[in-house]
Amino acid sequence: MGLEIERKFLVDPSLWSPQGEGTLFRQGYLSSAEACVVRVRLAGDEAFLTVKGATSGVTRLEFEYRIPREDAMVLLDMLCGPAIIEKTRYRRRFGEKLWEIDVFHGENDGLIVAEVELLAEDEVLELPEWVAQEVSDDPRYFNSNLMRCPFNSWA
């Protein structure tokens, strides 16, 4: 169990490009209500079941449990709906922080989002040059919403 404090930014693709292999994520949702999201994620060779509470500012309750990969595949195929999010995650250190950069695929192709975890909501954050607009407060960028209303469907 933990409190996740996270800020999220769009990435400028003219200033950032992938280094290394990245990890392919396939994830779906058993529940995507505002009050509680239950996510199934295949992350490379691993799999996780994650429960997240409602976001308050940039803070969110989060509980993550490792589950067998075979379970996750059945959960994604049989119980998650209506769509699956696919993205490749890259990690890059900048200053003291490890940033996670998600390059989305499929219906969210063209979207690149960088996330960074903070120790406190008011922590001063040094921004790499390749981050653009902050989208921490924009619910359209929640992965559970990108499933329902993907990036390529936006006006």
Site residues, a copy of itself (CB under 8 A): 1, 30-31, 33, 35-36, 38, 49, 51, 53, 61, 63, 65, 67-68, 70-71, 74-75, 78-79, 81
Sign of the CA dihedral with 131 first, then 136, 142, and 143 last: positive
Smallest gap from Cβ 56 to a copy of itself, in A, equals 11
Smaller CB separation from a copy of itself, 67 or 118: 67
Alpha carbon dihedral 12, 124, 65, 92, in 10-degree steps, equals: 40
Smaller CB separation from a copy of itself, 108 or 144: 144
The catalytic position among 29, 65, 90, 141 is 29
Count Cβ atoms within 10 A of the Cβ of residue 37 and give its class: 0-12 exposed, 13-18 middle, 19 or more buried.
buried
Q: Which residues are identified as catalytic? A: 29
